[in-house]
Structure 1
Amino acid sequence: MKDRIIEEIDHCKDDFYNISIYIGENPELGHEEFKACEVLTNQLKKHGFQVEIGTCGLSTAFKAVYDSGKEGPAIGFMAEYDALPEVGHACGHNLIGTMGIGAGIGLSKVIAETGGKVIVFGTPAEETSGGKVTMAEEGLFDALDVALMVHPQDKYVKSGTSLAMDAIQFEFFGKSAHAAASPHMGINALDAVIQTFNSINALRQHITSDARIHGIITEGGKAANVVPDYAVAQFYVRASKREYVNELVEKVKRCAEGAALQTGATMKWSNYEFSYDDMITNTTLSDVFTKELISLGVDENEIYEDRDGTGSLDMGNVSQVVPAIHPYIKISNVPCVPHTPEFREAAMSELGREAMMIGAKAMALTGYEILTNPELLQQIKQEYNNQK
């Protein structure tokens, strides 16, 4: 049966290659991925999936279901397909989206025998206001037994952790005045922003080593001879656990409140992007995926243990509601860092496409193990329950 899954995915190789290239050559920002959504869902429809577009009110999200009509687990595969500004698919989402549908299509070919269902979720805007956040909040993943996705990297890495994150914006409102003739008549909103940064810099001495606070000034005035009456700063606040992020955010807010008090400005805060929760890897599920990678010819000595995650993923929100993994596959023979032109080229390379096929197969084979091994699924669920 596993050989059949592999053969079915290989049979679609040209389609998957063409889809990944098409998405890569037509980069679309988050919630604007209409071309990617169309090409991915058309392929799923071609293979008998029932497709809903616009899931959870997100115009470029989708849910594609292949139901055997028999009792059995529900296996979820995540597809991402948004690009980055200027550098396009420099995070390899053209490969991620195609891997997601590839795994789903491959596994769908055998579930008439195994029972259960396969669901592919199109999750837009991972780079900003992640679609998985909305989907998780609306309960879309609650009926899944497991959720899987694979991300490109310059090496094979087991699924691990990620940082929880809040995106906080502070707007300061002051009073404009001529900076030379009547500075005493003004209230400098930019000073409030600068004081906020200074206070946060002092705060950094007293936070745990896993935490990160970093920000930019997006608005600081229009002319040097006018006291700025409006200024804006945006920050990411991250830590390994959601609870600590919540605690840090309150401290960061107090930094901004103090800056407003010192300068006489007023302050308003908001979340300018969705909050991401920390990734909880289900190690039982991860071990199955690793075993399948090795069965496909990947040298186990080239599969690295995850280092503590330093970025943030909306897959973290999925992992809070269902057993999940987020491993990495090797798309380059030389070191390259995501969000760079070099990584974009690797994601468009032949090696990248070959890795995409391996990732799709390994996910599909992992899904098959869960569909056919109730004891394994019980172990996965027990670990998940113990982690909550």
Structure 2
Amino acid sequence: MKTSIKSQIETQCDQGLSEFEAISEFVFAHPEPGGKEEVCARYLSDRLEQNGFKVWRAYQGMPTAFRAEWGSGPVTIAFLAEYDALPGYGPGHDEWAHACGHNWISATALGSAITLSRVFSSRDIRLVVFGTPAEETLGGKCELVQNGAFDDVDFVLQAHLGGHTMVRPKTQAMDSIEFSFFGRAAHAAMSPEQGINALEAVLLLFQGINARRPYWKKSASVAGIITDGGQACNIVPDYAACRFYVRDATRQEVETLTSTLQAIGQGAQAMTGARMETRFFENSFDELRNDETLCSVVEANLRRLGIERFYEPEYPGGSSDIGNVSHVVPTMYFELETGMVPPVYAHESGFLEAVHGPLARSSLRQAVLAMTWSVADILEAGNKE
């Protein structure tokens, strides 16, 4: 029975592969900033609607989020589409591009849902595709989790391209914190003693963080930039600001690390006299908690596809809002290697060659089959219980 269903799934996947590639290529050709993905959100939701899915656009008040549903079965499976791009590519480093492969992610999510809708009866399963904006910044999935979007979902699956194939990737929890310091302006040469230098507070904050950095665990990461350092060299800066991504293996550890940064900032405030304010400028991401049963099912189906090399990282790296999803519903997030030698990694300019075109065809097919076959296994296991 399982073999017959999987054969039907494979046939439907192969028949629809050109359609799924077209989805990937369209999103790749229309890179948009997070939260402003109007063209891609409309295109993806339209494609689902054309395939018989009921669609809710501007879902939960987010202009470029959507939810699409098909079927009314007892088990609800959700696939997550992403479609925001990254800045800083092209010859002038001023273009938006899909250097994280979100075009490929959208195609695998839609491809999996559409394939399953062509194989199963609507009485057997309920399929959901979430359009999740701004994964690279705000974290649209965090908003969806907070608003209960996954409360009626039984399982979530998502695939990503990467340098290695991983069914048990490790991501870091992350806080996005901004420090603002308020001083007093003065002429930097004639009356510096009348000023309070807000930029000095920012610099002391960086120095304090760097002084602590050698003593943090290998799982911890703090990366920051100065977003405002003053307006003119002959004016003591009365305002300066900086932003940090603070990461560690778990939410609890991140909160501890964030508290450390705030204490260092308070020290900079005391040393300079510049008043400090902090705020979280993006949603906080939780670490990924993949469901081990789903990991085993997906791994078995990847092996069925002839994939034998699996990489298991020693330490977590990077962050994604799918971590928040995995804290509220059984989730399987996995990565497939691009096939490029030497390997390329997300956010590198070379990654752009791997996420579309002929090179991405094989991985796109593998991802759709691995996820859809795994859904077949989930349904069969449920029927046996």
TM range (shorter): over 0.9
- Asked whether 1:309 is paired with 2:316, we answer yes
Q: Is the 8 A contact 1:176 1:188 kept in 2?
A: yes
Query: Using the alignment, how far apart are the partners of 2:314 and 2:358 within structure 1?
Result: 27
- The letter for the 2-side match of 1:11 is Q
- Asked whether 1:29 is paired with 2:17, we answer no
Query: Using the alignment, how far apart are the partners of 1:12 and 1:54 within structure 2?
Result: 27
Alpha-carbon shift at residue 364 of structure 1 (Å): 1.2
- TM-score, normalisation: structure 2: 0.93
Q: 1:24-50: CA deviations, max 9, x gaps?
A: 111111011112112211221121111
- The letter for the 1-side match of 2:47 is Q
Task: Tell me which residue corresponds to 1:115.
Answer: 124
Task: Tell me which residue corresponds to 1:365.
Answer: 373
Query: Using the alignment, how far apart are the partners of 2:307 and 2:184 within structure 1?
Result: 64
Query: Using the alignment, how far apart are the partners of 1:304 and 1:194 within structure 2?
Result: 39
Q: Secondary structure at the match of 1:218?
A: strand
Q: Is the 8 A contact 1:103 1:360 kept in 2?
A: yes
Task: Tell me which residue corresponds to 2:286.
Answer: 277
Moved more, 160-169 or 351-360: 351-360
Query: Using the alignment, how far apart are the partners of 2:203 and 2:194 within structure 1?
Result: 20
- Asked whether 1:318 is paired with 2:322, we answer no
Q: 1:60-96: CA deviations, max 9, x gaps?
A: 11111112x34x2111111111100133100111100
Q: Is the 8 A contact 1:163 1:312 kept in 2?
A: yes
Q: Is the 8 A contact 1:73 1:370 kept in 2?
A: no
Q: Is the 8 A contact 1:176 1:227 kept in 2?
A: yes
Task: Tell me which residue corresponds to 1:299.
Answer: 307
- Asked whether 1:257 is paired with 2:266, we answer yes
Q: Secondary structure at the match of 1:292?
A: helix
Alpha-carbon shift at residue 58 of structure 1 (Å): 0.9
Note the aligned Cα RMSD (angstroms): 1.6
Alpha-carbon shift at residue 351 of structure 1 (Å): 1.6
Q: Secondary structure at the match of 2:233?
A: coil
Q: Secondary structure at the match of 1:308?
A: coil
Aligned mate of 1:350, from 354, 358, 381: 358
- The letter for the 1-side match of 2:75 is P
Task: Tell me which residue corresponds to 2:140.
Answer: 131
Q: Is the 8 A contact 2:172 2:287 kept in 1?
A: yes
Q: 1:364-388: CA deviations, max 9, x gaps?
A: 1111211221289x8xxxxxxxxxx
- The letter for the 1-side match of 2:359 is L
- The letter for the 2-side match of 1:82 is D
Query: Using the alignment, how far apart are the partners of 1:299 and 1:33 within structure 2?
Result: 34
Task: Tell me which residue corresponds to 1:18.
Answer: 22
Query: Using the alignment, how far apart are the partners of 2:211 and 2:315 within structure 1?
Result: 25
Q: 1:184-232: CA deviations, max 9, x gaps?
A: 0000000000111111122224432211112111110121111011100
Q: Secondary structure at the match of 1:125?
A: coil
Moved more, 361-370 or 189-198: 361-370
- Asked whether 1:80 is paired with 2:82, we answer yes
- The letter for the 1-side match of 2:177 is I
Task: Tell me which residue corresponds to 1:66.
Answer: 70
Q: Is the 8 A contact 1:330 1:352 kept in 2?
A: no
% identical equivalent positions: 39
- TM-score, normalisation: structure 1: 0.92
Aligned residues: 373
Query: Using the alignment, how far apart are the partners of 2:142 and 2:270 within structure 1?
Result: 34
Q: 1:98-129: CA deviations, max 9, x gaps?
A: 10011111112233177121111111110001
Aligned mate of 2:159, from 141, 144, 150: 150
Q: Is the 8 A contact 1:106 1:361 kept in 2?
A: no
Unmatched tracts of structure 2, length 5 or more:
90-96
Q: Is the 8 A contact 2:171 2:249 kept in 1?
A: yes
